[in-house]
Structure 1
Amino acid sequence: MQELLVAVNCIREPIGSTITSEMSDVTEFKTTLVIRFSQKIQNFIKMAKNLDSFKTLCGDDRLALIKYGCVENLCMRSLQYYDLTHEYWTIYANLILTDEERELIRRKVEQNRQNRLQNAIQSLDSTVNTNEPGNHFTHLLTAMDTIRDPMPPYDNMTQITSYWDMFRATTVKFESTIRNIIKFSKHLGVKGGSGPPLLLLHGHPYSHVSWRKVAERLALNFTVIASDLRGYGNSSAPPGGKNHEDYSKRVMAKDQVQLMEKLGYTKFALCAHDRGARVGHRMCIDYPDRVERAMFLDIAPTLAMYEGTTMQFAEMYWHWFFLIQDEPLPDGLIAANPDFWMDQILGTGGSDPERKLEYDSYRQTMRNPAYSHAVCEDYRASATIDLDHDRADRAAGRKIKCPVRVLWGANGVVGACFKPLDLWQKVADNVTGRAVPSGHDIQDEIPEVLLDEIYEFF
């Protein structure tokens, strides 16, 4: 394995020779990198089969295919690092260019991004032949390149363009916000509106875009902060740490509390779905003076769900028990075909063009192996360190003190396999709730019902 790592490092060394002052556009820069290194990495994959260390790894024929797949994934991950080009674009912008050159390029990249983004938005208004030049922005897969064009970095840069821009906020102007929160992560999200602060936390495998049907109208009465959890959306994806602690809900809750502090809010309301609600549960326990009211969508407490697992639940929520397996099994299999994985979890988005855009944004994130690994770490943490924290709460009699409202889908798995209200009443002092006519994604399936519930509860 050491030979493999050395070989990967050797591939990285000639990067400087590809950087020239003529490359004034990040797309040109990225394309050059891919052309320069794709064949070299493919040759490295073939070479790996002949390495002594690889022969040793594959001594057991039953594991040979899996192990070779891991080696291949290691190599392809290197190519994806080059494809992203953030690190080397930073080197190019900061070390090679003068201040004047950097500013000229910043303006050019920003103008190109604005032009392409406008094309993307306009293409939503009519039926477009995607085979015609210039009309490929109907797919967020391509528009992602517009949104993620890395800008030459400045220490005081506080704004980024969000996926939110793809959904044309017409009632309320949302400002995109980025804050450095902790040593690992940049947590991205959107903030807009006026009124008391309301933090929205998404679930798996989503991002802040999952609130697109309700956030604008909520912003008429609340200051809405829709954040990306670490390992999802546009937030960073740390490796995992000892015992998966970097994805413990305690650490993920701290992220969000620090985000709200940075924005000036020491008290706030919370509405959270799926994994975000698990973060919210921990937040209410660890920071009882911060969360004034909490609404949890279509989950039951983690410990109760594991303790109450039945064959029915295991079959319907199979991904729970797949994602908690040790690295690299789920990580490598997802990274090998991320689109197939996302199709199994999400489906295709159907005929709704905005939902298809939304789902494509999630697929794009999952194509980065760092994020498929992050998802696995999130679930592995829930089956290990999070359960330790939950058991400690139970033993100490710690419960959620703020008012809690729980909604679950009448057609969903959680309601079919558990009694959510009963389970939440065991971990919180003041809980109300009911089933609503939807499946798992309440905010997407019945946004009007959710809006009514939020206005009544908060």
Structure 2
Amino acid sequence: MSGIAGFEYRRVDVAEGVALNVAVGGGGSPVVLLHGFPQTHLMWRHVAVELASEHTVICPDLRGYGDSDKPAEDGEDTYSKRTMAADIVAVARELGYERFALAGHDRGALVAFRAAMDHPDAVTHLASLDVLPTLDMWSVMQGTSAAVGFHLYLMAQPPGLAETMIAASSDVFFGYFLDLWVKDPAAIPADVRTAYLDACRGAVPSIVADYRASAGVDVRHDEADLAAGHQLTMPVSVVQQDWGSALGFDAAERWRAWAPDLAHSTTTSGHFMAEESPKEITEILRDLLKR
């Protein structure tokens, strides 16, 4: 898989010694799309092309992922969502945009959330696909039901153990989630799956560092915002899988505490909804941009 059809690729400097791989296409008001785990910007390949008929669509590989730089973790801030969010604001500005709409899936949604909290003057609209804010995620994971998030606990450990274990069998580890979280395997064809696994194989330390930050500094940043009464000031759309009563908590209520202007919906597709149901996700984003 070479890239998103019709998009141009460039490297954009975002911090000293750190540049992101960025795909840009279309024309009009800017929309930035952030990928999740264990993926790259390619997860947006369908949605991005559709939105590019009306918008300038910007699809970066996050710091530590894909073809973006992977700085060594030299402290808790290297892969904090605050740092990764600043990367995205820097990308937009380097491309000439002070204000932009922002959508994220999974890990990218956590970066998008932090960008909207830290840079409300820059983010005009926010979409989050299939994730809770970090603080809420840890709050709802209790008892045996938390076993589904075993990877969160594994990668939360101090440096060394998780990196060694995952690197020893990275294709099995990352492939497990690609297979488990998809309802329609055809949505991730062989060439795309190979691209994801190749990218993850070369990024084990940085991916683990990203997750480690979410068990530490990212939680503290959310706690500080909660204590200060900070909320998301822009229109927000959240899409999540329809787990029904099995979810065990009210996801919309959790999100509404952060986002007063919230549109919350569910989808019958699996976790990789932008690949499984691209038309549905595209329409949700278009509706958001009209608000």
TM-score, normalised with respect to structure 1: 0.60
SS in 2 for 1:293: strand
Question: Matched residues in 2 for 1:340 and 1:427: separation?
Answer: 36
Question: Matched residues in 2 for 1:412 and 1:339: separation?
Answer: 32
How much does 1:312 deviate? Answer: 4.4
Q: Residue by residue, what CA displacement relative to the aligned partner does 1:313-364 show, whole Å, maximum 9, x if unpaired?
A: 4111211111111221110111111111122121399874962111111111
SS in 2 for 1:240: coil
Aligned partners of 1:312 and 1:417 also within 8 Å: no
Q: Kindly indicate whether residue 7 of structure 2 is the aligned counterpart of residue 174 of structure 1.
A: yes
Q: Which residue does 1:16 correspond to in 2?
A: none
Q: Which runs of 5+ in 2 are unaligned?
A: none
SS in 1 for 2:23: strand
Question: Matched residues in 2 for 1:227 and 1:412: separation?
Answer: 33
Q: Which residue does 1:13 correspond to in 2?
A: none
SS in 2 for 1:296: strand
Q: Which residue does 2:94 correspond to in 1?
A: 262
How much does 1:311 deviate? Answer: 2.3
Residues 272, 412 of structure 1: CA spacing in aligned structure 2 closer, same or farther, 3 A cutoff? farther
Find 2:158's aligned residue among 314, 326, 340. Answer: 326
Q: Residue by residue, what CA displacement relative to the aligned partner does 1:145-183 show, whole Å, maximum 9, x if unpaired?
A: xxxxxxxxxxxxxxxxxx315xxx2xxx31112112211
Identity among equivalent positions (%) equals 34
SS in 1 for 2:115: helix
Q: Residue by residue, what CA displacement relative to the aligned partner does 1:237-260 show, whole Å, maximum 9, x if unpaired?
A: 111222x21000000000000000
Residues 313, 191 of structure 1: CA spacing in aligned structure 2 closer, same or farther, 3 A cutoff? farther
Q: Kindly indicate whether residue 55 of structure 2 is the aligned counterpart of residue 222 of structure 1.
A: yes
Q: Which residue does 1:189 correspond to in 2?
A: 22
Q: Kindly indicate whether residue 229 of structure 2 is the aligned counterpart of residue 397 of structure 1.
A: yes
Q: Which residue does 2:279 correspond to in 1?
A: 448
Amino acid at match of 1:185: V
SS in 2 for 1:164: coil
Higher normalized contact order (CA 8 Å, seq sep 6+, divided by chain length): 2
1:188-337 → structure 2 map (5 Å cutoff): 188-242=21-75, 244-337=76-169
Q: Which residue does 1:434 correspond to in 2?
A: 265
Question: Matched residues in 2 for 1:430 and 1:322: separation?
Answer: 35
Higher fraction of strand = 2
Aligned partners of 1:313 and 1:417 also within 8 Å: no
RMSD over aligned CA atoms reads 2.0
Residues 323, 425 of structure 1: CA spacing in aligned structure 2 closer, same or farther, 3 A cutoff? same
Residues 417, 378 of structure 1: CA spacing in aligned structure 2 closer, same or farther, 3 A cutoff? farther
TM-score, normalised with respect to structure 2: 0.93
- State the aligned residue count: 287
Higher fraction of helix = 1
Q: Kindly indicate whether residue 3 of structure 2 is the aligned counterpart of residue 164 of structure 1.
A: yes
Aligned partners of 1:299 and 1:420 also within 8 Å: no
Q: Which residue does 1:419 correspond to in 2?
A: 250
Q: Which residue does 1:386 correspond to in 2?
A: 218
Question: Matched residues in 2 for 1:288 and 1:312: separation?
Answer: 37
Question: Matched residues in 2 for 1:397 and 1:354: separation?
Answer: 40
Deviates more, 1:253-262 or 1:430-439: 430-439
Amino acid at match of 2:146: A
Q: Which runs of 5+ in 1 are unaligned?
A: 1-139, 141-162
Q: Kindly indicate whether residue 190 of structure 2 is the aligned counterpart of residue 356 of structure 1.
A: yes
SS in 2 for 1:253: helix
SS in 2 for 1:264: coil
How much does 1:214 deviate? Answer: 1.4
SS in 2 for 1:250: helix
SS in 1 for 2:49: helix
Question: Matched residues in 2 for 1:233 and 1:443: separation?
Answer: 18
Amino acid at match of 1:201: L
Question: Matched residues in 1 for 2:9 and 2:16: separation?
Answer: 21
Q: Residue by residue, what CA displacement relative to the aligned partner does 1:47-93 show, whole Å, maximum 9, x if unpaired?
A: xxxxxxxxxxxxxxxxxxxxxxxxxxxxxxxxxxxxxxxxxxxxxxx
